[in-house]
Amino acid sequence: MNILNNVDLSAANTLRLPCQAQRFTAPRTLSALRDVLGQARREGWAVTLLGGGSNVLLPEKLPGLVVRPALHQWWLSGHQDDQNAQEDDVFAHVGAGVNWHALVMATAARGLWGIENLALIPGSCGAAPVQNIGAYGVELADVLHAVQVMELATGRVDWLSAEECAFGYRDSLFKGELAGGVVITQLVLRLSRTPAPKLGYGDIAARLPSFPTPLAVAEAVCAIRREKLPDPHVLANAGSFFKNPLVNDEQVTQLLRQYPAMPHFPQGGGKTKLAAGWLIDQCGLKGMRDGAFGVHQHQALVLVHFGGGDRHGLMKTANYIAAQVEARFGVLLEPEPRLINP
């Protein structure tokens, strides 16, 4: 078993926060993963799971063992034990270590519909269900069929249906009840050969012909993202730093009276989603810099790291931004990436 000691994880998280892992391993098979979890149990090492590192806030020191599943296989099948399966359905079976964007482009290039709107989201497939990745009107939950997991305590492999994952906006069972209890090892996605473009969000439709291919949709999404979102290889960031807040109807009515142009998206059940980026932008914070960190100049929801900072400094900047928004709008912002603690 290949366990490395004292591993620098600053290049393994897209915010490039400094982090020293006491031990690190990247098992390539289910049995190697089971073995390493068994060893961690016997030695009493705390286990921290890491995917592509694109949605985590790492501390400076991580004792115990960091495990990054390197299950890189994926394949397509036409059949699945599912009474609702359609003739044109194609199921993608995807190892947790597969890069999400690579999967999107590969399935779109094969003419399969389903995840083309989720192009260019950084990170690994195994991490995708944790926060139920979403963009341009599509969420992972819309196409996820099942998730294979390995229980940390026993090494037992199990399957969860999409319903069992309790998906919500940037939320799932893996952030709640199952947090720290399982490793996601494989996803099964239900894709389709039947054209089903979802072009309702923003100006995607304006960039495409009337009957686009899934690859053309994926490429349009990439173009939009490249215009607004910084490339983490060039400027360290973790995508949206805050979740879009959900507020009640009464608060929206009051806010709209004062700010009639405020973007707002009713969600049903008396709740409305506001655009955190707009709220931050209105506070005049777009493009601001606070030491090593700042607010991206083209998208106020993204915090960027210019280098030399750590998580403490990032949280200081984030708290300042949240305090400004709260003072002006009375709305609380919550960080979207996960705070990883030893």
Q: Which is nearer to ligand EPU, 152 or 274 (CB)?
A: 274
Find the catalytic residue in 23, 34, 170, 225. Answer: 170
Tokens found for residue 192? 């389709």
**Contact indicator for 92, 189 with CB cutoff of 8 Å:** yes
Our finding on whether 243 is near ligand EPU (CB under 6 A) is yes
- The H or E element that residue 271 is part of is strand 271-274
Our finding on whether 45 is near ligand EPU (CB under 6 A) is no
Cα 228 from Cα 44, distance rounded (Å): 44
Least spacing, CB of residue 271 vs ligand EPU, in Å: 15
Our finding on whether 171 is near ligand EPU (CB under 6 A) is no
Check residue 27 and report its DSSP letter: -
Least spacing, CB of residue 60 vs ligand EPU, in Å: 24
Reply yes or no on whether 192 is catalytic. Answer: no
Our finding on whether 100 is near ligand EPU (CB under 6 A) is no
Our finding on whether 108 is near ligand EPU (CB under 6 A) is no
Least spacing, CB of residue 227 vs ligand EPU, in Å: 10
Q: Which stretch binds ligand EPU (CB under 6 A): 69-77, 140-148, 183-191, 294-302?
A: 294-302
Reply yes or no on whether 60 is catalytic. Answer: no
For the residues of 205-234, what is the DSSP string, one character each? GGGS-SS--HHHHHHHHHHHHHHHS--TTT
Number of H helices, E strands in the chain: 6, 20
For ligand EPU, the binding residue among 275, 292, 315, 331 (CB under 6 A) is 275
For ligand EPU, the binding residue among 15, 21, 300, 318 (CB under 6 A) is 300
Integer angstrom CA distances of residue 294 from 101, 227, 238, 290, 337: 26, 18, 12, 6, 16
**Contact indicator for 285, 299 with CB cutoff of 8 Å:** no
Strand, coil or helix: what is 201?
coil
For ligand EPU, the binding residue among 100, 113, 167, 278 (CB under 6 A) is 278
Our finding on whether 15 is near ligand EPU (CB under 6 A) is no
Question: Could you tell me whether strands 56-57 and 4-8 are parallel, antiparallel, or unpaired per DSSP bridges?
Answer: unpaired
Our finding on whether 202 is near ligand EPU (CB under 6 A) is yes
Q: Which stretch binds ligand EPU (CB under 6 A): 45-53, 93-101, 171-179, 277-285?
A: 277-285
Q: Which is nearer to ligand EPU, 32 or 205 (CB)?
A: 205
> Which amino acid, one-letter code, is at 15?
L
Reply yes or no on whether 170 is catalytic. Answer: yes
- The H or E element that residue 32 is part of is helix 30-43
Q: Which stretch binds ligand EPU (CB under 6 A): 39-47, 60-68, 152-160, 238-246?
A: 238-246
CA atoms within 13 A on the CB side of 114: 25
Check residue 12 and report its DSSP letter: G
Residues carrying an active site annotation:
170, 240, 336
> Which residues contact ligand EPU by CB under 6 A?
135-136, 201-202, 229, 239-240, 243-244, 263, 275, 277-278, 281, 286, 299-301, 336
